[in-house]
Structure 1
Amino acid sequence: MKFPPVTATLVLGGLTALTLALAAAESSNSASDSSQTKLPFSESQAKSGGKVYASNCQGCHGQNLGGGSGPALKGGGFLGKWGGQPISRLHSYISQNMPLGQAGKLSKQQYLDVTAYILSQNGFGAGEKALDSNGLKTNIPKGSGQQVKVPSQLPAPPQGNGRVISRVPTQATLLEAASSDDWLMYNKDYRGQRYSGLSQINTGNAARLQKICSFSTGQQGSFQPGILELNGFLYFTNAHSTYAVNAANCNKEWSSTYTPRTAEPQPVNRGVAAYDGKLFRGTTDGHLLALDKNNGNVLWDVWVADSTQGYFLSSAPIAWNGLVFTGEAGADWGANGHVYAFKADSGQLVWTFDVIPTGDQAGAETWDKASTAAHGGGSMWTSYTLDPSSGLLYVPVGNPAPDFAGDYRPGKNLYTDSVVVLSARTGKLAWYAQQIENDFHDYDTAAPPVVYDTGGRKFMAVANKGGHLYLYDRVTHDRLNKVPVTTIANTDAPLTTEGTRFCPGTLGGVEWNSPAFDPKTGTLFVNSVDWCATLKIGPVRYNAGNVFTGTVNGFGEFDDKARANGWTHAIDAATGDIKWKREAGSPLVAAITPTAGGVVFTGDQNGNFLVLNAADGKELYKDDTGGAVAGGVITYRLGGRQYVAVASGNTSRTIWNTEGRENVTVYALPQGGQ
C-alpha cells in the first residue's frame, strides 16, 4: 500500500507508510562521479542553504541527507528520480510541501538556497551565479550519480568475502528453539508460536518489573524489527544497519551498516535469521546479506531483485537445513513476488517459486488478463513459518496489484492474499489457502501464520489486514473458522469515484506481527488495528518503480486519528471462540508474546510496554518506552534472570502521528524480587 502524497515512514505489513516526500526518493551511494558537473548555484548560496537545511530539514532527512523519518535526499535513487528534470520541479516540490506540516514557512530565498544545498550534496559543482528563476530552468543531469548496473540475470551470483569460525546456532539448537531460554528466531521457533516457557515473571509479580537498560540507534524512521537473543546478545536491524547489543546491560557489541547501491522503494527492515555462525538480512535495494554473527562483517551478498522496478527485501529470513528462505516486497509498485531458497554457506540459489503464476504454471488461469500478470503483485513483508517435521515452508503472500482495481484483474488472483505452503527442500507447491479472492481493499496476508497441534488436530492460524483470524486444518486444508478481530463494515461495497468508506481501512486489521499460541491453555493471542478509511477509485496507470494502486487518493482518507483504536483478542485455538478481548485505545501493531508465567507481553502506539494477564486481559504493568512500539517484544533468561526486550520508536509523523528515536529497552524484576 501507499499513502497520499505526504511524508510518512510507518510501514504497515503490507502497506506501508511510504516516505513520500520527494515522491518516494530513494537513498543510494553518493554521487561521487558528478563533481565536475556544474549547476547554476553559487558556493556561498549552497553554504547558506546548509544552514537552512540544518534548522528545518535535518530532523526528518538526516544530518547527511541520508534519510531518517523522511527519505534520503542524495544518492543514486534521488538522482534517478530527479535526474533529467528541470531544477524547478525539485524546487517547486520542496517549496510547496516542506517543511512537513509547515509548507511555505521559508522565504523565497531560503527555498532557493536549500535547493542549491541539496544539489551540492549530490556532488554537483557550484557556478559563479546564485540559483535564480533563470537557473531553475536548467535540467538536473540524468544519470549523474554513482550508477550501478543491475545484472540482467537476478538473483545474481553471490559475492563472498570470508568464512566464520563460530557455528552457533546449529540446526540442532534451532530445532529446540521452542523450549530454549534464548529467542532464536523472529517468532521464537520454526512453527511461529512465540510462546516462552519462562515463568519467573508471572501474574503475581509483573507489577514489580523495572527498566534495566536501553539502547538507541540514534536514528529515526520505520523501526519494526523482530529481535533475536542468542548467547547473551540481542540482534536486530533498522533500514540500513544491523546491531549486536549485550542482552543484560544494552552495551553495543558491534554494528554493521549497508549502503544501498540502487533505488530504495521503502526504507524498512524487519530483522535477521541466525544460523551456523551467520546472520541473514535483506536490504532496501534488493540484496540478501550474510553477516558474521561475531562482528557484522559481510560474508556474502546476493543481488536478489531489481529495486528500480519496485522490489526490496523487508522480511526477516528464516534458515533451516542448510538453506535460507526469503522473498521480495514490492507489490504496491506492481512488482511480482518470488520466494527463494539460498545455500546458507555460500548464497547460491537453490530454488525459486513464483507467487504470481504465468504461462502454464498452476494458478495462472486465475488472472483473466495476461497483461496484468506482468504486474500482479504478491509481497512477502514480514517473515516465514516452517514445520520441521514435514519440511513444509509456510509463506504469507500480500495483496495483488493494482491494489484497488479489482475489475482490472478479474479472477481469484492466485497466490495473492494467501498462505502458500511449499516443500522447503524443493520449492514445490504442497497446498495453499487463499484468505481473499480478488482483493480490492489492500487486505494483505502480511504476517506469518502459526502452526500448532491441539485437541488431536493439526492447525494453521493466520490473520490478515482484512481484520480476521483464519483457522485451517493442516491435514484436510479445510478452513475451519474466520473470526473478526476488529470492526468489519462495508467491505462488500464496490469502490466508487465518489468515495467508499469501509472498515478496516487500508491501515487496519492485523499488520506485520502475527498471532501467538499458548500450548498450556490452547489460546491464540492477536493484536489488531481498528481504523476506517474512504477510498476513491481512479484510472489505472503503470509506471515502473512507482506505486500502482488505481485510486485518486492514494491509500484512502482515514477517519480522524482520534478514532484510531486497537484490540487484543484471546481466542480458543481449537474452535475460534473469543475468550476475551481488550480495547487498547490506540492501534496495536507490536508483537505479542505469551509465557508460562500466565502473562502476555506486548506494546502500543502510545509508546507503552504492556504486560497483560493471559487469563482475562487485565493490565498488570505499563511503562512508557519513549516511542511507538511496532516491533519485537521478546523474553529470555540469562544467569537465572528473566528479561524482556522491546523495540520501540517507530516514527510516523503524518499517519499515526508518532515520533521517537529507535530504541530497544530491556526490563526485568529487581534482583531478588521474584
Structure 2
Amino acid sequence: MHRILVLLSAFGLAAPALAGAVDDARLRDAAQESGNWLSYGRDYGQQRFSPLKQINRETIGRLVPKWIYQTGTTASFQATPIVVDGVLYLSMPFDHVAAIDAASGRELWRYEHQRRTPKMCCGPASRGVAVAYGKVFIGTVDARLIALDAASGKPVWDVAVATDEGPTESVGQLDAGKAATRPSATGSTGIGVNMAPLVVDGKVIVGITGVGYGLHLEAETPNAPVGTVVGFAGRYGRPGFYAAFDAQTGRRVWQFDTVPASGWEGSFRSTTPDGVALPRDPAREQAELGKYPDAARYGGGSAWTTPAYDAVSGLLYVGIGNPSPQMDDRSRPGDNLYTVSLAALDAGTGTLKWHFQQVPHDLWGYDVASPPLLFELPTDKGPVAAVGQASKLGWFYAHERRSGALLFKSEAFVPQENLFAAPTAEGTRIAPGAVGGASWSPVAFDPASGLAYVAAAHIPIRYTLREIAGTKGGEALRYTELKPVDEPNWGTLTAIATREGGRIRWQQRTDKPLIGGVLATAGGLVFTGEGDGFFDAFDAATGERLWRFQCGAGVNAPPVTYEVDGVQYVAVAAGGNSLFGYKSGGALIVFALQRD
C-alpha cells in the first residue's frame, strides 16, 4: 500500500480515501469521534448532536456548497450519510449505494441494486446504511438485507428478511362498485425494509415496513401533497417484526414479532396509558372477538425506524407502526398489541422487556415512526436514564429506560384538534392525523442544554366512512378514507426543554410541513430542510433563522456534519418527497466555510 501511495504521489494523483475499521468499541464510543458520523443517529443514543463548532453562529454566513454528488436517480431521497475516516457512504433511492471521498466528492465505488420484484409497498426511499467490520449493510425495498465489502462495494452476502407479504388491497375493489377513484395506487400493504440498519455486538438489526400501510391513491392534481389513503376492513397484511442477523454470515439470530401470537387484544383500554379518552365500545369489541379469531395473523405493526441502543443495560428501543387493516377497525377487536408502541427489547435475544402503547386500537395511522432518543434527565436524586420519542400525536414522550415508566409528556408542538375522534360518514376533521406531528423525521438533542429539537408537520386530515353497494345482492364494501383538508398547511421546528417537563422553549413556523430530520451542533446551530428546497440553520438557543440555501429540490432528509483534515462539512440529500408533492431531485450537497 505504501508503494502505491508513493507512485500516486509521484504522478500527481490523489490517493484514494481509506476508511479505518469500525468495530464494536468504535460504535459504542461513536459520540466521542467528533470528525465522524458512524451510525444513523451518529451514536447509539440517536442524539444527532455533533461537538464540531468551526461552523457556528458567527461563521454561518460564510457557509457555501463545496461539492455536489449527483446520484442519477430522481426520487424520494431520505438517506443519512455515514462518514468514516474521510469516506462517506450514501444509500440512494432504490437501494443503490456509493462510497465517496468526503472531502472532494469523488466517487470511490458504486453498487447498483437489482430488485427481485418490481413491486414496492412503500416507495423507493432508503434511510441509510450501517458500516462495521469492513462491510456496508443495507436493507432494501424488496425486503432483503445485503452486506457489501466496504473497500470495493462488492456483495459479500444477500439474505431475505421476509418473503410473505400477506393479502393486499387493490384499486379494483373500489372500481368494482363504480366508485370515483384515482387512476392508480402508489402503495399498499406489502413488505420492504426502509430503515437504516443498526449494528450491535456482531448483529445487524432491521425491521420490515408496509404491513399496515393501506392503499395510497394518487393525488388528484400533480405535485399535490398526500393523496387519498384507503383502509379496508378484512384480512390484509401480516405481522411486522424486527430481526437481528449475524454480521459475518447473514444468519438470522432472533426475531421479535410486533404482533404477539396470542393476547394481541390486550385489556380493551378505554383511554390511552396517559389518560386520554378513546372512542371505543369495549363491551362490543369483546363480544365480537370470537368472530375474528385469526385477526392477529394480519396484524400489521411496521418497523419504520432505526432503534436506539443502551450499551449499559443491553436494551434496544424500537418504534412500532399502526395495526392492519389500516384505519378501518371492524375486523380487529381489542388493543391490537404491540402496534403504535415504543418498546424495549433485549438486544441479545429480542425478548420484549416493556412497551408503552401510545394509542390502543389505532384508527388514525399514528405509527411510532420518529427514532427513539436516549438522554440523561437531571433530578434531585441524581440523573435518570431516559428514552424519548417525538410522536405523530404532537407530544414528545419521555420514559425511564429500564421500566418504561412515563416521566413526562411535553406541551403539544403542533395544533391538536379532535385528536381521537372517530371517522364519520360526513367526515371528521382531525389534527395532526396520519401524517403527524412528528412523522419519521429524527430528533436532535443537545446534551448541554437538554433541548430536544423536533421537526413536525401541520396537515389536518379528514377521515370519512364510505360504503359501496354490493352487486347482485352481495355484501356492501365499507372502508375508511383519509384525505388532507383543502387548506394551507405548514411545519414547526420546536425546541423542547426536557429539564422543564417538556415545556416549549421556542418554536419556528415554516412555510412547508417539515419531513426530514434535524442536526444540532456545539456551534450553537440547528439545521433542517424544507420541502420547497430551502436548507436552513437556526440559532439553537433562540430559534432565530441565521442562514438558508436553496438546494433546487425538496430537502427531506436528515443532515449530518463531519470533519476531514481540519475542515468541517455539513451534508444533506436534496431529492424531495413525492408523497408530499415536494420537488424531486437526486443530489447530495456538501457545504463548508468559504475561506477569506
**Is TM more than 0.5 here?**
yes
1:508 to 414, 417, 436: 436
Q: What is the rounded CA distance, in whole Å, between the counterparts of 1:296 and 1:354 in structure 2?
A: 32
For residue 419 of structure 2, what is the amino acid of its counterpart? T
Q: Is the 8 A contact 1:613 1:619 kept in 2?
A: yes
> Which has the larger displacement, 581-590 or 508-517?
508-517
Q: Which residue of 2 aligns with 1:670?
A: 594
SS at structure 2 position matched to 1:551: strand
**Cα displacement string for residues 497-550 of structure 1 (whole angstroms, at most 9, x for unaligned residues):** 22111111322311112222101111111000011111212469xxxxxxxx97
Which aligned pairs between 1:327-346 and structure 2 lie closer than 5 A? 327-330=207-210, 331-332=212-213, 334-346=237-249
- After superposition, the CA RMSD in angstroms is 2.2
Q: Say yes or no: does 1:589 pair with 2:515.
A: yes
SS at structure 1 position matched to 2:26: helix
Q: What is the rounded CA distance, in whole Å, between the counterparts of 2:156 and 2:264 in structure 1?
A: 35
1:496 to 385, 408, 424: 424
- Displacement after TM superposition at 1:406 (Å): 3.1
Q: Which residue of 2 aligns with 1:93?
A: none
Q: Is the 8 A contact 1:417 1:444 kept in 2?
A: yes
- Displacement after TM superposition at 1:567 (Å): 0.3
Q: Which residue of 2 aligns with 1:646?
A: 572
Q: What is the rounded CA distance, in whole Å, between the counterparts of 2:99 and 2:435 in structure 1?
A: 31
Q: Which residue of 2 aligns with 1:443?
A: 366
1:300 to 143, 157, 165: 157
Q: What is the rounded CA distance, in whole Å, between the counterparts of 1:166 and 1:351 in structure 2?
A: 30
Q: Is the 8 A contact 1:166 1:276 kept in 2?
A: no
Q: Say yes or no: does 1:566 pair with 2:423.
A: no
Distance 1:476 1:208, change over 3 A: same
Q: What is the rounded CA distance, in whole Å, between the counterparts of 2:478 and 2:363 in structure 1?
A: 10
For residue 498 of structure 1, what is the amino acid of its counterpart? E
For residue 113 of structure 2, what is the amino acid of its counterpart? Y
Q: What is the rounded CA distance, in whole Å, between the counterparts of 1:355 and 1:636 in structure 2?
A: 35
- Displacement after TM superposition at 1:196 (Å): 0.5
2:338 to 388, 408, 415: 415
- Displacement after TM superposition at 1:364 (Å): 10
Q: Is the 8 A contact 2:327 2:480 kept in 1?
A: no
- Displacement after TM superposition at 1:176 (Å): 1.4
SS at structure 2 position matched to 1:629: coil
% identical equivalent positions: 36
SS at structure 2 position matched to 1:537: strand
Q: Which residue of 2 aligns with 1:623?
A: 549
Q: Which residue of 2 aligns with 1:220?
A: 74
Distance 1:426 1:475, change over 3 A: closer
Q: Say yes or no: does 1:349 pair with 2:268.
A: no
Q: Which residue of 2 aligns with 1:656?
A: 580
- Displacement after TM superposition at 1:365 (Å): 8.8
2:394 to 467, 474, 499: 467
For residue 445 of structure 2, what is the amino acid of its counterpart? F
The answer for unaligned runs of 5 or more in structure 1 is 1-164, 541-548
Which aligned pairs between 1:180-199 and structure 2 lie closer than 5 A? 180=33, 181-199=35-53
Distance 1:360 1:397, change over 3 A: closer
2:404 to 472, 477, 482: 477
1:391 to 303, 309, 314: 314
Q: What is the rounded CA distance, in whole Å, between the counterparts of 2:48 and 2:566 in structure 1?
A: 21
SS at structure 2 position matched to 1:332: coil
- Displacement after TM superposition at 1:277 (Å): 0.8
SS at structure 2 position matched to 1:373: helix
Q: What is the rounded CA distance, in whole Å, between the counterparts of 2:195 and 2:591 in structure 1?
A: 26
- Displacement after TM superposition at 1:467 (Å): 2.0
Q: What is the rounded CA distance, in whole Å, between the counterparts of 1:670 and 1:249 in structure 2?
A: 15
For residue 432 of structure 2, what is the amino acid of its counterpart? P
Q: Is the 8 A contact 2:425 2:464 kept in 1?
A: yes
Q: Is the 8 A contact 2:413 2:504 kept in 1?
A: no
For residue 170 of structure 1, what is the amino acid of its counterpart? D
Q: State the TM-score, normalizing by the size of structure 1.
A: 0.71
Q: Is the 8 A contact 1:265 1:311 kept in 2?
A: yes
Distance 1:166 1:594, change over 3 A: closer
Q: Is the 8 A contact 2:391 2:436 kept in 1?
A: no
**Cα displacement string for residues 568-606 of structure 1 (whole angstroms, at most 9, x for unaligned residues):** 110111311111011011111122111111111111111
Q: What is the rounded CA distance, in whole Å, between the counterparts of 2:57 and 2:327 in structure 1?
A: 45
For residue 596 of structure 1, what is the amino acid of its counterpart? A
Q: What is the rounded CA distance, in whole Å, between the counterparts of 1:383 and 1:210 in structure 2?
A: 31
For residue 461 of structure 2, what is the amino acid of its counterpart? A
**Cα displacement string for residues 132-178 of structure 1 (whole angstroms, at most 9, x for unaligned residues):** xxxxxxxxxxxxxxxxxxxxxxxxxxxxxxxxx98721111111111
Q: What is the rounded CA distance, in whole Å, between the counterparts of 2:319 and 2:26 in structure 1?
A: 25
Q: Say yes or no: does 1:201 pair with 2:55.
A: yes
**Cα displacement string for residues 327-372 of structure 1 (whole angstroms, at most 9, x for unaligned residues):** 1101225231011111101111111111100137896999944322
Q: Which residue of 1 aligns with 2:121?
A: 265
For residue 106 of structure 2, what is the amino acid of its counterpart? N
Q: Is the 8 A contact 1:337 1:377 kept in 2?
A: yes
> Which has the larger displacement, 303-312 or 597-606?
303-312
More helix per residue: 1 or 2?
1
- Displacement after TM superposition at 1:264 (Å): 2.7
Distance 1:174 1:315, change over 3 A: same
The answer for unaligned runs of 5 or more in structure 2 is 1-17, 167-189, 215-236, 270-284, 469-476
Q: Is the 8 A contact 2:264 2:296 kept in 1?
A: no
Q: Which residue of 1 aligns with 2:356?
A: 433
Q: What is the rounded CA distance, in whole Å, between the counterparts of 2:326 and 2:66 in structure 1?
A: 44
**Cα displacement string for residues 423-471 of structure 1 (whole angstroms, at most 9, x for unaligned residues):** 1011111111221111111011012100111311121110122222111
Q: Which residue of 2 aligns with 1:637?
A: 563
Q: Which residue of 2 aligns with 1:111?
A: none
Q: Which residue of 1 aligns with 2:85?
A: 231
For residue 532 of structure 1, what is the amino acid of its counterpart? P
For residue 241 of structure 2, what is the amino acid of its counterpart? H
Distance 1:342 1:253, change over 3 A: same
Q: Is the 8 A contact 1:397 1:445 kept in 2?
A: yes
- Displacement after TM superposition at 1:307 (Å): 5.9
Q: Is the 8 A contact 1:626 1:648 kept in 2?
A: yes
Q: Is the 8 A contact 1:566 1:586 kept in 2?
A: yes
For residue 212 of structure 1, what is the amino acid of its counterpart? K
Q: Which residue of 2 aligns with 1:580?
A: 506
**Cα displacement string for residues 269-312 of structure 1 (whole angstroms, at most 9, x for unaligned residues):** 21111111111111111111111111211111111112653111
More strand per residue: 1 or 2?
2
Q: Which residue of 2 aligns with 1:4?
A: none
